[in-house]
Structure 1
C-alpha cells in the first residue's frame, strides 16, 4: 500500500506544481487554494509512504514522478519544447524510478524511543 501512496503523492506533486504556475505568486485565489491543498495532500501521502519505504528511495521516487510528469505534461499540453534529448532524459529518469522500485524492499520502521 505504501507504494500506492507514494505514486499518488508524486502525481499530486505534478498537480500542485502546475497550481503554482497558475496561482501567479498566490495572487489568484482558486489556483492558490488548489495548490495549498495539493501540497498538503501530497506530503500527507508521502509521509504515509515513508513508514515502509526507505526515505532516500521514497524521496527520489516522489520527486522523480513529479519532475518527469511535469515535463511530460508541459511538452504535451503547454507547448513547451520537446527535443529528442529531453525525451531520452525523461525516459532515463523514469527508468531510474522503476529501478529503485524493483530494487527496494519495504521496511517496517518502528519508533524505538531513542536515537539509533
Structure 2
C-alpha cells in the first residue's frame, strides 16, 4: 500500500507544480487555491508512504515521479524541448525510480514499520 501512496502523491505533485506556473506567482486566485489543495493532498499521500518505506527511497520516488511527469507534460502539452538527450535523461530517471522499487527489501519495510510504531 505504501507504494500506491507514494505513486499517488507523485502524480498529484505534477498537478501542483503545473499549478505554480498557472497561478502566476500566486496572483490568480483559482489556480492558486487549486495549487495549494494539490500540494496538501500530495504531501498527505507522501507522508502516508513514509510510514512503511525508508525516507530516502520514498522521497526519491516521490520527487522522481513528479519530476519525470512534469517534464513529460511540459514536452507534450507546453511545447518544451523534446530533444534526444532530454528524453534519454528522463528515461534514466524512470529507470532509477523502478530500480529503487525493485531493490527495496522486506527488511527495509519491516524496519520502517517498527520505527513508525515506536514513534506512535
TM-score range, shorter chain: over 0.9
Partner of 1:64: 64
Partner of 1:80: 80
Q: Is 1:110 aligned to 2:116, yes or no?
A: yes
Once the two structures are TM-superposed, the CA of residue 110 in structure 1 deviates from its matched residue by 3.1
Where structure 1 has 5 or more consecutive residues not aligned to the other structure, the ranges are: none
Residues 21-59 of structure 1: CA deviation (Å, up to 9, x unaligned): 000010101100100000100001000000000000000
Greater share of helix residues, 1 or 2? 2
Once the two structures are TM-superposed, the CA of residue 111 in structure 1 deviates from its matched residue by 4.2
Residues 41-88 of structure 1: CA deviation (Å, up to 9, x unaligned): 000100000000000000000000000000001000110011000000
> Hey, what's the Cα distance between the residues in 1 that align with 2:56 and 2:19?
26
Aligned length: 113
Aligned-partner SS, 1:94: helix
Partner of 1:20: 20
Where structure 2 has 5 or more consecutive residues not aligned to the other structure, the ranges are: none
Q: Which portions of structure 1, spanning 4 or more consecutive aligned residues, are displaced by more than 2 angstroms?
A: 109-113
> Hey, what's the Cα distance between the residues in 1 that align with 2:77 and 2:47?
30
Once the two structures are TM-superposed, the CA of residue 13 in structure 1 deviates from its matched residue by 0.5
Q: Is 1:100 aligned to 2:100, yes or no?
A: yes
> Hey, what's the Cα distance between the residues in 2 that align with 1:28 and 1:14?
19
